[in-house]
Every structure is written in C-alpha cells, then in structure tokens.
Amino acid sequence: MKHFLSSEGIVLLGAVAVLSSCNHMTQIKLQPYPETERGEVVDNYFGTEVADPYRWLEDDRSEATAAWVEAENAVTEDYLAQIPFRNAIRKRLTQLWNYPKEGAPSKHGNWWYYYYNDGLQNQSVLYRTKAPGEAGEVFLDPNTLSEDGTVALAAASFSKDGRYLAYAAAASGSDWVEIRVVDTATGQQTEDRINWVKNSGAQWAPDSEGFYYSAYDAPKGGVYSEQNQYQKIYYHRIGTPQSADRLIYEDPAHPLRYFWAWPSEDGEWLFVLASDGTSGTEVLFRKSSEKRFRTLLPGFDADYGVVTVRNGLLYYVTNRGASNYALRRIDLNDPSKDEVVIPEHERNLLEGVGTAGGYLFAQYLENAQNQIAQYDYDGRLVREVALPAIGTVGGFDGEKEDTELYYTLTNYTSPATIYRYDLSAGVSTLYKAPEVRFDPERYTTEQVFYPSKDGTLIPMFITHRRDMRLDGQNPCLLYGYGGFQINMTPGFNPAALMFVEQGGIYCVANLRGGSEYGEAWHRAGMLASKQNVFDDFIAAAEYLIAGKYTSKERLAINGGSNGGLLVGACEVQRPDLYAVCLPQVGVLDMLRYHKFTIGWGWAVEYGTSEDEEQFGYIYKYSPLHNLKEGEKYPATLVMTADHDDRVVPAHSFKFAAQLQHCQGGDAPVLIRIESKAGHGAGKPTSKRIDEATDMYAFLFQNIGVPYRPVTDAE
C-alpha cells in the first residue's frame, strides 16, 4: 500500500511523469591508495583468532596515524577535485541552505527567547524579545565564541526565575562541554566555569541559586579516545569555583553507568536517574532535607522518563509492562501507590509527555508521524490537537502559568514552521513560516510498507518530484538508522532536497531497532536480533529496485553512527545490491567499540565481544571483520572527523584501510576525514555544506548521472 504525505492528509498515489538524464560522465583518475602498514596483531576470542592488522590506527595521537590521515585525505581531495560539477553542487546547496531559520519562542522571566539563523551563519544565535512577534535583540551569539564557528551550544537552560542562563559550550564537535553562565539582567558572562562534563547540561535547582550537573574526572590519557568511567553528580552554587562544588551522588561499584539529577519544581524532592547504557533506567529519590537516596523505580529492565511532580505524585513515562509506553504516577510518600494515568495505546507509540498551563500533552507516533493529545492530570482526554500538517512536531511543553505555547512542525519538503497554540481554545494559528528558495509544490512524500526477509512489514518514506516515472532509471538514496530506540520521523534536509530536485528519490526506512512501534520494535533489532535491521534495509533496497523506483546501478545507501554500522554491514553482506555506499561516523569495529570513550554504554544494545555468546553473533556481522579479499565492493566514501569522541575515528580508519586492501573491483574506496569536527552535533553550516557537497558529488559521479545545474527559480 502506498500513501502520499501531504498537508491535506493521506491520499491515493496518482500518476507520475518521466524524468530523463544524460549519462556522459567525465572519467576520474584515482591516485594510488597510501601504503598502509599491516601489523601482526591477533586476538583470541573464546578460541577464535581474529587478526587486527590496523590496530596502530587506533592511536589518534601518533605521528604515523597523522601521516596516514594526511595521505588519505590527499587522495580523496584529488579525486573529488576532478569531478566537474562539484562546485555547481556547492553553489546550489549554499542557495538551498540560505534561508532564515527561526525556533519557537519560550518565556523565561520577563523575556521571550528564540534561536535565529539568518541563513548561512555557522551557529544559530539566541535572541530575546519582550513579546513574540516584536523585533528581538541578540542575547548570546555562539559565532563569537570561536573564529571559525566550531564552538557550538550543546545545551542551554534557564533558572526558574529567568535570572541566569547556563549553557554548555562544545568545541570542534567534541562531546566534552564546558558549562558557562550568563546573567540575563546584564547579558554578561559570570565567572562560573564547569569542565569535564559529558552527556549532561545544567539542571537548575528551584531556588535558582545553583544547578546540578554530571561530570567525569579529567582524562589521564587521550582526551578524545580514553574510556570514560565513574560519572558523578555535583551541585554548583553560582559565584563559587568548581572546586567547591558539592558531590551529590556517585556509585564506585558501577564505573560504567550514567547518572543525571532531576529536582522537583517545588524543591521538595531530588531524583537520580541511573542507566547501564543507552536503554534501561533506574530511579532513585530522596527528600531535599535527606542525605541518602532510596530506590523508587528499580531497573534496569525497563525505561523511565520523569515528567513532573504534582501534589507529592511523580508522573513518569515507562515501557514497564507497556511496549508502547504509558504515563503513570507514583505517591512519593507511599510508593506502593502507583497507578496508570494515560494507558498504553494499542497501536501508537507514546513518545513523551509535556506539561503546560495545567495540562498534559501526550506526543504519539502513528506510523512514524506525530499526533498530539491534550489531557488533564487525571488522564481525562481534553482534545486531540488538530495539527496543520503531517510531519514531526516539537515544543508541546512549557510552564504551569502558560496560556499559550509555540510549537514547530516539519517534514521532508518543508522546514520547521512555527505555530501558536491556545491552550484553552485548542486552536493553532500560524506564527512564522520559513521563506525557502524552492517550490515545495514540485515535490511529494509517499509512505509505503514493504515486507522484510521474515515477512515483517516495514514503513518507508519516499520523497520525489511529482513528475517522477517508475522506469528503474532514477537516482535513489536510501537512508536508515535502526537502533537505540531512535525514531526516523519526517524532517527537512536541504541536501536531500537538492538530490530530489535533480530527479533523485530520497528514501528513509523505519527499520527495527528504533521504537516507531514501541519497545517490541526496538528489541526486534538489538542484541541477537540485530541482523533483522540489516535484513530490513536490504529488503528496502530490493523493494525499490523491484518497484522500478531505481536500479542497482543508480542506488546509494547512507547512514551515520549506528546507521554507519548499518551501511557497512549491508555493504559487506550484499555488495552486489548498490552502486554507492556512504557510511558516516560509523561503528564499524564491533569487537572493540566498547573500549573507547562512552562506547561501553552501547553494550545493552549490541552486546560485547567479552561475552562468548554475544561475540558469536557480533562477529558474524561486524563490518570490519567480514570484508573479503578480492570481492568487488561498491564505490565507497567513508566519512569521519578528527574530534569525534563518541564513535572514535579509528572505526572508519580501520574499515577504510581494510576495504582498500580487499577491493577486487574498480570502484573507488575513499575516506574523508574532517578536521575540527565531531560526531555531528553543532557542526558549522560551512562544514555541513562542504561535507554534503563532497558526498553528493561522489554519489552522482559513481551512479553515472551528472549533476545538472539549476537556478533557485526552477
């Protein structure tokens, strides 16, 4: 079954017209790959000997690694520089990126704050105004924090009274942040500086005199590669040095756990959320006057998300006994009293619950598209919120005094549009619509459901020009992720739109491993079931080819992080199925990922090579370890960055070196290593455009379809 995704809702797929393309390509001369030394390292895993010839590339501080990076980048740049339409792609991407981007306003103290980017600024600027719609003033400009725009805001939070803003500054894309504080009355930075913070921002105490944060001890080895252990929670009082911060919680018996603090708005309770990794939590609590924490919601076999405390009751979202999640409340003075407020939906995923103006706002996913329902605190439905369009929603959260809120809505053919919502009347009105440099009416998105290898129906969004023909000749880019409960919902990407503008088809598959259909969907794509994710993606490619959307010669696959693992595994398992593979910042060495930075936190998702049973299934799909010498692999551009301290670049280094060694065909195998960049968050606009330029230039060149320059009026 196929549907259109449009502002009018779901309608039947109609007829489409033909697009033709020229196929006269400039021949590119590929320089010899650098000579990459193969070492003699061999590891023994439960009797299985596994060679690791490029172990030396794991040392990101060595001169040998630096020389290899320089040599590989030189080969890649030489290849890309020969592509005749590379600059035309950069020009068009710059045009498409160059539109004003504004975030939804939110009130703190006497001011309304919002983010704004005039088009090509490297980082969005935080503005404020006395009333929404009035001219704003610059409050905090991250572009002034560094000369090249590589310092970004990783998180920002206001004190309850609006007097202070605490923001986390991330340099060069690193997950390490420094928390700084701004006095909103003067706009001046205070002397407060908090270092060695990771996976945490500032969580303000209700009295606005200080905040909680989670931090590690300073690394003794490689800042961007050393394993991070013993995260602790501290309390920082404004105006005091970090050395005076009070230790709130630590757990020396469990060095590989995450911890976050969350104080109730009334100041009566303090909670600690603990996790062994990327899923599964435990909630501890105490009264603010107490010293010792007690277990409130034991783990780690379910997930808990705290929402609010009201009249001594903690409202929380959980998948405990509810695969699609439910909202519950527990009596903090008598935890035996724990009841359902909003029950689990039979079909739709409860993504989260926000609060504003005395109401609860439940955000659901129905077939990977958002719906919002407004409830009172006893779980009585007030109304289903009528959204102006189909897509992804953000912003249904605020303060209990609010009478209105502002939210955003986006999809594949429309950047974020801002709406004002009247909490009492339940009416949405347009606040700000982006002015884009393309005609959205030329494009459409359909949703299809295709069978995976085991018969499971998998949803996929397909965005294309309205005049597309199903003749098997269209360029096609298939994107996926498939893991960590992360949902692939509609979102706008200027680079993907440029591809569609060229007659390409952009596809996003909602693979198992996410939670689009609840925790059962997640568990069907993790640990021993991880192969389901790769089967889902391979089936998507086969569906697109069988349906004549594209052909093997025109199909490219792309994904980042866990999606990079997806691309690597599918390239290794089915090298015959694609023309181009584009793994970005991928987890590609599954036997050693847990030995670096926070990689240990993914063991709940993947398993580790230190467990004999888990080693057995990880080793079967680990991209690095399943490359075969002499196999003809697709054209591959591996992409990573030197400051990626989440998925360390050694994954990409080793995979690219081994793939170059094994390649038995003529297709190029290149690696692009970005400098002063990380896993992706906070990447400057200029670097995003450069990366997209090179990725799409490589893609077009290797599917045999040249880029056709267009004007923004077309």
Digit-coded pLDDT (tens) for 152-193? 888 999 999 999 999 999 887 788 899 999 999 999 999 999
Pair 31, 76: CB distance under 8 Å: no
Q: Is 679 a catalytic residue?
A: yes
How far is residue 195 from each of residues 177, 187, 217, 272, measured CA to CA in Å?
7, 22, 9, 21
How does pLDDT run across 71-117, given as a tens digit for each residue?
A: 999 999 999 999 999 999 999 999 999 999 999 999 999 999 999 99
pLDDT score, position 150: 79
Residues 167, 153 contacting (CB under 8 angstroms) = yes
Question: pLDDT at position 11, please?
Answer: 27
Choose among 579, 600, 562, 558: nearest CA to 695. Answer: 558
What is the band of 16 on the pLDDT scale with cuts at 50, 70, 90?
very low
Per-residue confidence band for 714, with pLDDT thresholds at 50, 70 and 90: low
Paired sense of beta strands 313-318 and 326-331, if any: antiparallel
Q: How far apart are CA 621 and CA 565, in angstroms?
A: 9
426 within 8 A of 383, measured Cβ to Cβ = yes
Report residue 623 as tokens: 């991209």
Rounded Cα distance between 78 and 117, Å, is 33
In the block, tokens 């509609």 appear at: 490
Rounded to an integer, the average pLDDT of 229-240 is: 96
DSSP string across 445-467? EEEEEEE-TTS-EEEEEEEEETT
Non-local (6+) Cβ contacts of 708 within 8 A are 21, 22, 502
| Encoded tokens for 547 | 């349906």
Q: Comparing 146 with 457, which gets the higher pLDDT?
A: 457
The helix, strand and coil proportions of the chain, stated in percent and rounded to the nearest 5, come to 20, 35, 45
* Nearest one of 684, 685, 681, 686 to 155, comparing CA atoms: 681
Span 385-414, average pLDDT: 95
* Residue spans of beta strands (DSSP E) within 238-290: 246-249, 258-263, 269-275, 281-287
Q: Which residues contact 611 (CB under 8 A, 6 or more apart)?
A: none
Catalytic residue among 200, 214, 561, 609: 561
The 10s digit of each residue's pLDDT in 657-692 is 999 999 999 999 999 998 776 666 678 899 999 999
Q: What percent of the chain has pLDDT over 70?
A: 95
pLDDT at 17 over 50: no
Which of 108, 345, 464, 679 does the annotation list as catalytic? 679
* pLDDT for res 644: 65
pLDDT band at 147 (very low <50, low <70, confident <90, very high): confident
Kindly report the backbone phi and psi dihedral angles of residue 345, in degrees, each rounded to the nearest multiple of 5, phi listed first. -75, 145
> What's the whole-number average pLDDT of the chain?
93
| Contact (CB, 8 A) for 303 and 349 | no
* pLDDT of amino acid 170: 87
Q: Residue 379: left if φ>0, alpha if ψ -120 to 50, beta else—which one? A: left
What percent of the chain lies above the pLDDT cut of 90? 85
Q: Is 456 exposed, middle or buried (0-12, 13-18, 19+ CB in 10 A)?
A: middle
pLDDT given for residue 175 in this prediction: 83
- The closest alpha carbon to 124, from 102, 97, 105, 104, belongs to 102
- What does the pLDDT look like over 482-504, one tens digit per residue? 999 999 999 999 999 999 999 99
What pLDDT score was predicted for residue 2? 36
